[in-house]
A = this chain, B = another copy of it.
Amino acid sequence: MTELSDVFEGFTGRDWQTGEEGTVRIAMVGLGWWTKEKAMPAVERSELCETTVLVSSDEERAMAVADQHETVVEGLTYEGFHDGKAREEYDAVYIATPNAVHLEYAATAAEFDKAILCEKPMEATVERAEELVEACESVPLMIAYRMHTEPAVRRARELVREGFIGDPVAIHGAMTQRLLEMNPDTDQWRLDPDLAGYGASVMDLGIYPLNTARFVLDRDPQSVGASMHSSHEAFADVADERASFRVDFPDGVSTVCTASQNAAQSSHLRITGTEGELELDPVFFPDEPRKLRVRRGDVDATLDFDQRSQMTEEFDYFADRVLSETEPHPDGEHGLVDMRALEAIYEAAESDATVSL
C-alpha cells in the first residue's frame, strides 16, 4: 500500500529522465498562437531543446518571429521546408499546424530522418493518421499528449495502479473553453471540418479526458456513445459545439465526458474507485495551477504542489528520448487508438447508437 510519504516525495520529479545530456534542435512547423505563445517559450525554458528553425505559410512572418529569438537561425516557408532547406539546422520537428496537414510535414520530416513531435489529434481522420504512422516508421514519432508528463496526472496514475482507490469504477472528465474569445475569427481552422477533421470540440478538447483516462487506467476503449449539439452560427459546419460522450473501458469502467468550444473555461478528471476517489481540477489547461484531490475513508486532502510547465516537461521528455535513443511514448500506435475512438464518438452521435471499437 502507498505510504503517505511516497505521495509527497518526488511529486514533481522527472521520473522518466535518463540523464542523457545534449541539445535537440527543433524546427517549429506552424506558427499559430499556440506555437508562439506556448511552445516556443516552453522550449526556451527547457534543458534539452532549442528552437533553431521556424516554418510558416508566410516567410515574412517566420522571419519576424525568428528575429525575436536568438537561437533561431532560419525562417522557412512550407515549400522551403519540403525542399529540404536548412535541414542540417534541426534534429527534430514539432508539428502544430491544422490537424489535416500533419501528415505532409511528418512525412517530409521522416524523409529527412528527423524525430517528430506531432500535436494531437494526430491527423484529421483515421485513414490519414494511419498513413502518418506508416510514413514515420523509420524515425522516433511522439504524439504531443502533455498530460503524460504532467506530474499530477502521473501521481494519480500511480495511485490507481497501486490500488489506492481500490478497483477503478468510473471516471468523469471535461474540458470546455470559449474558443471565440480566444480567436474571434469564425473562419478559423478549428471550426472547419476540412482542416480539423471530424469536429471541433471532441477533436480538440474531448481528446484530453479521453486520452488521460486511457493513460490513468492503462486500458484502451472498447465502445463509445455520444450526443452532440450545435446552434451558434460559428459552429454551423460542425456537429459538436457541445458534446457529451461515454467511453467504455475493460472491466466495466466507464468514462463520461463533456467538451465544448463555447462554454466557460473548465477542466477536470475524477476517478472513482471501490475504496476512494481522485480528482484533478483544474487539470488540462497549461496556465491554470493543477490540483490533486485524494479521498479515501475519512480523509479528503487537496494537494497543491510546485507547478511544472506542461509544455516544457513534454519537450524535455521528447528530447531526452531522442538523445538517449529510446522510444518515445505516447507513440503513433497510441495516437491511432484515440483517432479510432474519436471517429467512433462522432459516428455514435450521428447514429444514436453505441459504437464498438
Q: Hey, which bits of chain A sit against chain B, CB under 8 A?
A: 165-166, 169-170, 172, 174, 176, 178, 223, 225-231, 241-244, 246, 248, 251-258, 260, 262-264, 266, 268, 270, 272-277, 295-296, 352-354
Q: Establish whether residues A274 and B296, one from each chain, have CB atoms under 8 Å apart when the complex forms.
A: no
Query: Chain B residues with Cβ under 8 A from A176's Cβ?
Result: 169-170, 272
Query: Chain B residues with Cβ under 8 A from A272's Cβ?
Result: 174, 176, 258, 260, 263-264, 266
Q: Establish whether residues A174 and B170, one from each chain, have CB atoms under 8 Å apart when the complex forms.
A: yes
Q: Establish whether residues B254 and A227, one from each chain, have CB atoms under 8 Å apart when the complex forms.
A: yes
Bound-state CA distance A246–B246 (Å) is: 8
A166 CB to closest chain B CB, in angstroms?
Answer: 7
Bound-state CA distance A258–B268 (Å) is: 15
Bound-state CA distance A295–B281 (Å) is: 13
Of B172, B174, B227, B268, the residue contacting A248 (CB under 8 A) is: B227
Some 22 contacts from A to B, beta carbons below 8 A apart, are A169-B262, A170-B176, A170-B244, A170-B260, A176-B272, A225-B225, A225-B246, A225-B352, A227-B248, A227-B254, A228-B252, A231-B252, A241-B252, A242-B253, A244-B254, A246-B256, A258-B272, A262-B274, A264-B272, A264-B296, A266-B272, A352-B354
Would you list the 5 A-B pairs with minimal beta carbon distance, nearest first? A229-B252, A244-B254, A256-B256, A352-B354, A170-B258
Q: Establish whether residues A246 and B248, one from each chain, have CB atoms under 8 Å apart when the complex forms.
A: no
Q: Establish whether residues B225 and A227, one from each chain, have CB atoms under 8 Å apart when the complex forms.
A: yes
Q: Establish whether residues B277 and A266, one from each chain, have CB atoms under 8 Å apart when the complex forms.
A: yes
- Give the nearest-CB partner of A230 in chain B: B252
Query: Chain B residues with Cβ under 8 A from A277's Cβ?
Result: 264, 266
Q: Establish whether residues A258 and B254, one from each chain, have CB atoms under 8 Å apart when the complex forms.
A: yes
